[in-house]
Structure 1
Amino acid sequence: MGNNFLKEDETLDDLQLKGICVIQKKHAFRFGVDAVLLANFATVKKDATVIDLCTGTGIVPFILSGKTKAFKITGIEIQEEMVEMANRSCRFNKLEDKIKFINKDLKDLKFLKNLSKVDVVTVNPPYKLKNSGIINPNDRDAIARHEICCTLEDVIKACKSVLKDNGRMYMIHRPDRLADIICIMRKYKIEPKLIKMVQPNFKKAPNMLLIEGQNNGGTFLKWETPLCVHNLDGTYTDEINKIYGK
């Protein structure tokens, strides 16, 4: 059945979550643990409306649709090919009434401001500064990893544009950008409320962070216990296995 939805260079991957599958490219950017952690970190209440920015393959919307009772989830992605693929995943899973994907640039604030305001925004943005590190020669991978099409400020400005008053923003990023993240969030009056660091294992420093912000929220910041991805023997920790439903 899945072959009717797939192109030659694609795979259909089972999320082990209510039978939901996601189409991905065989040799291009594929979702990783960061997207799974973000979807698990976000608090989405019953009948909430959600926008996922930089949605890529649509992995976060698909996980949220399986784990929450969100009313509507919209994924926004600048790469047309990814949006076409995500919409095929949507049809395969028969989730067209709950999820849709739109090919738009999140810097298009006129478009964003014409959307209905939402309760929750999730975003797994490019982590690396535009001029830092080696740029992947595959443009699709480079766009996903480097601030080529959007900067951190563009991302947070977009979140501000679509959030309801007191709505929540959830983002995964890198610890070395924490000062920038907090400063820019406060610039746009999205108050940091919760931070959770993610470590490769308990002997290594964090390499990811999860942050929650509240649009026009009051000042009170909490830190959650760090999450370790692996045990020292390289196996997943119990917490990660629980997130993956194992």
Structure 2
Amino acid sequence: MEKNFLRSDETLDDLQLKGICVIQKKDAFRFGIDAVLLANFSKIRRGARVVDLCSGTGIIPFILAGKTEASSIIGIEIQNEMVDMAKRSVSFNKLEEKIEFINKDLKDLQFLRTLDKADVVTVNPPYKLKDSGIINLNDKNAIARHEICCTLDDVIKGAKAVLKDNGRIYMIHRPDRLADIICTMREHKIEPKLIKMIQPNTEKAPNMVLIEGQNNGGTFLKWEAPLYVYNLDGSYTEEINKIYGR
């Protein structure tokens, strides 16, 4: 059965979640803990409509399909090869009634506004500024990590275009971009509501940040206790094991 869905340079990876598997390239950008943390951080009510921006091969939509009772999840991704893999993953998992992937540029606001308004937007965007280091602008891994095809401002504009009034955006990013994130959200009338720092362990500074914003929300920002990924002996913390269902 797998041979009908996989190319020779791809793998089928089990999410250990209701039997859901995702197709990924063997030697290209593969999902990491950041996508898992974002999916767990996002609050998705029963019957919610979700749009996932910068969707890649669809890891966040597939986790949300397994963990939540969202009625529909749409992934928007600019790279056609990623969308092709994501669509084949949908077929493999028989999730056609719940998940859809669209090969579009999130900067196409005219298209985004044609979609039904979303209750929730999730996004794991490129973290690094376009001019941060030497990069190959045609490299698929670089596109996933650097602001080559979209900037933080583009991401927030895209979320604004698809969110219903008071809808929520959930994003994971790097702490050094937190000031940019908050300022950009407010510029587009998305109010930051909740921040959670992710730290490798209790002795290291945060290397990721989770943030929730509300479209046209009131001003009130809360901080959650930080999440530690590892114990000092190198083992995963109880909270991480719980997120992974271990």
Q: TM-score range by the shorter chain?
A: over 0.9
Question: Is 1:176 matched up with 2:180?
Answer: no
1:87-166 to 2 correspondences below 5 Å? 87-135=87-135, 139-166=139-166
Please list the CA deviations of residues 28-69 of structure 1 after superposition, one character each: whole Å capped at 9, or x if unmatched: 000000000000000000000000000001000000000000
**Kindly, what percent of the aligned residue pairs are identical?**
78
Paired residue secondary structure (1:167):
strand
Which shifted more, 130-139 or 27-36?
130-139
Distance in 2, matches of 1:164 and 1:138, equals 34
* Corresponding position of 2:22: 22
Structure 1 match to 2:3:
3
Q: Does the residue aligned with 2:115 lie in a helix, a strand or coil? A: coil
Unaligned 5+ residue runs, structure 2? Answer: none
Q: Deviations over 1:65-112 (max 9, x none)?
A: 000000000000000000000000000000000001000000001100
Q: Identify the range of structure 1 (226-235 vs 80-89) with the bigger mean alpha-carbon deviation.
A: 226-235
**Normalising by structure 1, what TM-score?**
0.98
Q: How many Å apart are 1:4 and its aligned residue? A: 1.5
Cα distance in structure 2, aligned partners of 1:134 and 1:245: 39
Aligned to 1:46: 46
Distance in 2, matches of 1:209 and 1:134, equals 25
Cα distance in 1 for residues equivalent to 2:232 and 2:102: 41
Give the secondary-structure state (helix, strand or coil) at the position aligned to 1:160.
helix
CA RMSD across the alignment: 0.9
The 2-side partners of 1:135 and 1:25 are apart by 20
State the secondary structure of the residue aligned to 2:241.
Answer: helix
User: Partners in 2 of 1:67 and 1:15 — Cα distance?
Assistant: 11
Counterpart amino acid of 1:123? V
Q: How has the CA–CA distance of structure 1 residues 188 and 68 changed in structure 2, closer, same or farther, with 3 Å as cutoff? A: same
- After superposition, give the CA deviation of every residue in 1:116-145 in whole Å (9 maximum; x if it has no partner): 110000000000000002425771100000
Quote the residue 1:68 is aligned against: 68
Tell me the secondary structure at the aligned position of residue 218 of structure 2.
coil
Looking at structure 1, the residues matched to 201 and 134 of structure 2 have their Cα atoms a distance apart, in angstroms, of: 26
For residues 233 and 79 of structure 1, the distance between their equivalents in structure 2, rounded to whole angstroms, comes to: 39
Counterpart for residue 189 of structure 1: 189
Q: How many residues align?
A: 246
Q: For the residues of structure 1 that align with 2:10 and 2:147, how far apart are their CA atoms?
A: 26
- Partner Cα separation in structure 2 for residue 165 and residue 220 of structure 1: 17
Q: How many angstroms apart in 2 are the aligned matches of 1:22 and 1:16?
A: 11
Aligned mates of 2:193, 2:70 — CA distance in 1:
22
TM-score normalised by L of structure 2: 0.98
Counterpart AA for 1:110: Q
